Amino acid sequence: MPKIAIIDIGSRSVSMEIFSIDGDSFKQIYYNSIATFLGKNISRDGALDSLAIERTQEVLFDYKRIIDSFDEVGRFRDFYTPIEVHAFCTAAVRSATNREEFLQVAQDALGFDANVRVISGDEEAIYEFLGVINSTDMREFVMIDVGGASTELALVKDRKLCRYTSIPLGAVNITEKFFNTVAVQPHRVSEAVHTILPQIEGLDWIEEAKTLPIIACGSCARNLVIAESNKKIATSSSLHGYMINYSNVDFMAKQIAKMSAIEREDKLGIKKENAEIIVGGLVPLLALFKATGSRRMYYSEFSAVYGMFYEQYARINKRASAIEPDVLGASIRRVQSRYNANEQHAKLVEELALSIFRQTFNVHHLGERFRHILSVASLLHDVGEYIQYNNHQEHSFYIIKESDIWALEHQDKFFAALVAGFHRKEKLHFDWLRYFRVINRSTLGTLKDLGEVVQVAEVLAEREPEARGVKVQVEPKAIQLIVEKDGHEQFTLGNSVGRLWGRKAYII
């Protein structure tokens, strides 16, 4: 089972992720990120600071020890498979006068067989595009990744990377120029935004990006989302797909700017190593909002590291392209595989559930968003059986809300988890009052109704595993279901299979 370690030697931090690949499926088996501030205190002649190099070297030595432990006695080891190591350096090393000296330090720390290199700004933008595009089904958007010493911007249309650029301004050097660790005066934020705004407005493709949604990645965007989501109860430990309106981004940026670094850490949950530089890191994002007129931002947990991983994943699996054509389908299949779900049964349940949903539209009047949620919940409704069959709806709820189900908005993943949790007669232990900031009673009732659709579809699938469809007849007090098998309608008089939209449902 091949394993790949991707190490990002950035201007602010060094991170490593290790992936295990099993055919068309893969999973992350290790992650760590340590702030080294390699891009800080660069000398007048453009050389990396010797202390920063030493800090980074120690981290790389530690990562090498971790890689070796996985090779020898790693808890995920099924047979000996050397881990491929790919390390890349970004803006700080890219522009350093002593880059060759640093590269030798990194190569010595990681071993002669590690692939250590500096990537250009264009390459960084391409890898970030690969990471983002393989974790969303959005077709058109503007991408931004604010690093420590540079900011990558890209225009994506029809899921193709149309234009991209890298500007040499990031969280660290913007902070050094405009801000310090104490509370920031609001006019300084505005001054910083208007200083870099001409560089973004001057891009020859920016007019094509007008009003498009923004997908933001990187630690500053993540900490903005952490601060905003802390006002609510988090629905998942993963923040991927979390959406914030521009008004909230602007409000949160102003609130963060007024606080000291300690207050940002204590009151908003922003990590210590990011607390000092987050305002500087939000400046390019605010400038992009102004330049494009965009009204919303989505956070992506996946950028250059995942882009480089997908390049190697495509190579190992002999894929023609590193771009996943069906992001949602692929992520669902990975979850099904991980928890040994019966994919054939799940597909039949989905087909029957969506057929019932379509034929009862005049009763529920729900749109495409809820059809999409129902589809995901149907395909993953039984993954909780991997833990225990009894009350497996509880486990399905937890697994879905915590799994990487890409191409699904953060809130919609939570809704799909609830639908799966409501798909059995046994009650899901769900504390609505805890989540009242993210879901209201009306929506909760709708999700319970969709859970009953999955329950009825599962009963039909279990009784008639050869079913090829279902015909629905809506009566004032009941809903009648005619199961189709081998082109014929199957009649089984009087069998109640649950409730749909407040009515008893029968197979007739």
Interval 173-198: pLDDT, tens: 898 888 865 567 777 888 899 999 99
What pLDDT does residue 183 have?
61
Q: 448 with 335, same domain?
A: yes
Cα–chain center distance at 179: 30
What pLDDT does residue 75 have?
47
End-to-end CA distance of the chain, in Å? 50
Percentage of the chain modeled with pLDDT above 90: 60
Q: 112 with 130, same domain?
A: no
Say yes or no to pLDDT of 491 above 60: no
Element (DSSP H or E) covering residue 252: helix 246-258
Say yes or no to pLDDT of 473 above 60: yes
Please say which residue of 57, 91, 118 terminates a domain.
Answer: 118
Say yes or no to pLDDT of 223 above 80: yes
Q: 179 with 243, same domain?
A: yes
Say yes or no to pLDDT of 489 above 60: no
* Alpha-carbon torsion (399, 270, 227, 5), positive or negative: negative
Q: 111 with 135, same domain?
A: no
What pLDDT does residue 72 have?
55
Say yes or no to pLDDT of 74 above 70: no
Q: Where residue 11 sits, what CATH number does that domain have? A: 3.30.420.40
What pLDDT does residue 265 have?
87
Given a contact cutoff of 8 angstroms between Cβ atoms, the answer to whether 337 and 253 are in contact is: no
What pLDDT does residue 182 have?
57
Identify the CA nearest to 444 among candidates 425, 430, 456.
430
Say yes or no to pLDDT of 256 above 90: no
Q: Calculate the alpha carbon distances from 43 to 37, 99, 117 in Å.
A: 14, 13, 22
CA–CA gap between residue 100 and residue 184 (Å, rounded) = 37
Tens digit of pLDDT for each residue in 86-145? 999 998 899 899 999 999 999 999 999 999 999 998 898 899 999 999 999 999 999 999
Number of domains in the chain: 3
Percentage of the chain modeled with pLDDT above 70: 94
Q: Calculate the alpha carbon distances from 107 to 88, 103, 110 in Å.
A: 11, 6, 5
Q: 193 with 341, same domain?
A: no
Residue 449 within a domain: yes
Q: Calculate the alpha carbon distances from 378 to 299, 333, 469, 506 in Å.
A: 26, 13, 15, 20
Identify the CA nearest to 139 among candidates 327, 346, 414.
327
Ramachandran angles phi, psi of 136, nearest 5°: -150, 155
Strand partners, 6: 17, 86
Q: Where residue 473 sits, what CATH number does that domain have? A: 1.10.3210.10
Tens digit of pLDDT for each residue in 455-469? 999 998 988 888 778
What pLDDT does residue 451 have?
96
Residue 309 within a domain: no
- Quick one: average pLDDT of 383-406? 94
Say yes or no to pLDDT of 390 above 70: yes
Q: 45 with 134, same domain?
A: no
Say yes or no to pLDDT of 492 above 60: no
What pLDDT does residue 483 have?
84
Q: Which domain holds residue 93?
A: 3-118
Residue 386 within a domain: yes
Q: Is residue 42 classed as helix, strand or coil in its secondary structure?
A: coil
Please say which residue of 118, 140, 156 terminates a domain.
Answer: 118
493 band by pLDDT with thresholds 50, 70 and 90? very low
Please say which residue of 92, 118, 144 terminates a domain.
Answer: 118
Residue 47 within a domain: yes
CA–CA gap between residue 81 and residue 498 (Å, rounded) = 51
Q: 265 with 169, same domain?
A: yes
- Quick one: average pLDDT of 294-314? 94
Q: Where residue 140 sits, what CATH number does that domain have? A: 3.30.420.150
What pLDDT does residue 498 have?
83
CA–CA gap between residue 192 and residue 189 (Å, rounded) = 5
What pLDDT does residue 230 have?
74
Residue 312 within a domain: no
- Quick one: average pLDDT of 311-316? 95
Tens digit of pLDDT for each residue in 16-37? 999 999 888 899 999 999 989 8
CA–CA gap between residue 398 and residue 131 (Å, rounded) = 26
Q: 112 with 133, same domain?
A: no
Element (DSSP H or E) covering residue 454: helix 441-463
Residue 202 within a domain: yes
Residue 271 within a domain: yes
- Global pTM reads 0.87
Q: Calculate the alpha carbon distances from 226 to 99, 151, 439 in Å.
A: 34, 21, 19
> What single DSSP character describes residue 276?
T
Q: 137 with 183, same domain?
A: yes
Question: 14 Cβ partners below 8 Å, 6+ apart?
Answer: 7, 8, 33, 34, 36, 38, 56, 59, 60, 63
What pLDDT does residue 496 have?
76
Question: 257 Cβ partners below 8 Å, 6+ apart?
Answer: 183, 184, 186, 188, 189, 279
Element (DSSP H or E) covering residue 263: helix 261-268
Identify the CA nearest to 223 among candidates 276, 263, 274.
274
* Alpha-carbon torsion (299, 302, 303, 307), positive or negative: negative
Residue 144 tokens, joined: 């931004």
Tens digit of pLDDT for each residue in 412-457? 999 999 999 999 988 888 777 778 778 888 999 999 999 999 999 9
Residue 150 tokens, joined: 């540079």
Identify the CA nearest to 296 among candidates 241, 232, 257, 372.
241
Say yes or no to pLDDT of 78 above 60: no
What pLDDT does residue 297 have?
96
Q: 137 with 286, same domain?
A: yes
Q: 52 with 81, same domain?
A: yes
Residue 320 within a domain: no
Q: 213 with 143, same domain?
A: yes
Q: Is residue 49 classed as helix, strand or coil in its secondary structure?
A: coil
What pLDDT does residue 233 have?
65
